Chains A and B, each alone.
Chain A
């Protein structure tokens, strides 16, 4: 069965540092992968999309990579700020409407 694993439940980093989150998947060949941010008491909010034929995508201080050989996506937050503190969800998708969400990684940025 499909399995999506995101690294360690929580990531604590110092302001200004880079946070790196990992999303690994098995028994799955997604055509794309989305990353969402979820704040406490709120619904997930879309951040970035990367397709299988793309190696890297950037948006402001965010960077996503997608390695279909390793079956892995990395999500980087550079120059992190306390406002980046949230839970980040990876969501691989196939050639249909379905997204399968990982359990999420909670990031806390210390001032």
Chain B
């Protein structure tokens, strides 16, 4: 398996623009997670899906952030409008089943820079 695939790997945009990050989880995995990593705050969970349904989005910082999972093999994280403080590395991770202690498999991340 190719592992979790994320695109783009790098994104540079200007403040106010819309940004869409994409993720393809490992085939057969039922759970998908979006994280954000910064030097100041470390790795933070933004949202979690199970069987394509958003279960917990309490980590989504503001209404400017939204996430969708239209099918089992694709998810998007959208920021509209983007702000400089959104600059971070965004990771997508998937697990076989979100039961206790399931291993999470992370993608390579998308490094977002908002100017």
Which chain A residues have a beta carbon within 8 Å of chain B's beta carbons?
A: 31-32, 34, 41-46, 49, 51, 89, 93, 95-99, 101-104
Provided the pairs A43-B91, A43-B108, A43-B109 are in contact, do residues A34 and B103 lie with their beta carbons within 8 angstroms?
Answer: yes
By a CB distance below 8 angstroms, the chain A residues around B71 are: none
Chain B residues with Cβ below 8 Å from A101 are 42-44
Residue-wise, chain B 8-37 has the 8 Å CB interface mask toward A (1 for contact) of: 000000000000000000000001010000
Residues of A within 8 A of B45 (CB): 98-99
CB pair A93–B106 under 8 Å, yes or no, is: no
Q: Which of A34, A45, A102 contacts B101 (CB 8 A)?
A: A34
Question: Least Cβ distance of A57 to chain B in Å?
Answer: 12
Distance between A35 CB and nearest chain B CB, rounded to angstroms: 11
A-B contact pairs, 29 of them (CB 8 A): A31-B100, A32-B100, A34-B101, A41-B108, A41-B109, A42-B109, A43-B93, A43-B106, A43-B108, A44-B43, A44-B91, A44-B104, A46-B105, A49-B101, A51-B101, A89-B43, A95-B100, A96-B100, A97-B31, A97-B56, A97-B95, A97-B99, A97-B100, A98-B45, A98-B48, A98-B56, A101-B42, A101-B43, A103-B42
- Complex formed: what's the CA distance from A42 to B6 in Å? 12
Distance of A98 Cα from B56 Cα, bound (Å):
10
Which positions in B face A, CB cutoff 8 Å? Answer: 4, 31, 33, 42-45, 48, 50, 55-56, 91, 93, 95, 98-109
A41 to B9 Cα, complex, angstroms: 10
Chain A's closest residue to B99 (CB) is A97
Contacts of B56 in A (CB 8 A): 97-98
Residues of B within 8 A of A97 (CB): 31, 33, 48, 50, 55-56, 95, 98-100, 102
Return chain B residues, CB-CB under 8 Å to A103.
Answer: 42
> By the criterion CB–CB under 8 Å, are B42 and A46 in contact?
no
Q: Kindly list chain A residues whose C-beta atoms are within 8 Å of the C-beta of B95.
A: 97
A51 to chain B, nearest CB (A): 7
Nearest-Cβ distance from residue A8 to partner chain B, whole angstroms: 15
With both chains docked as a complex, state the minimum distance between the C-beta of A36 and any C-beta of chain B, in angstroms. 8
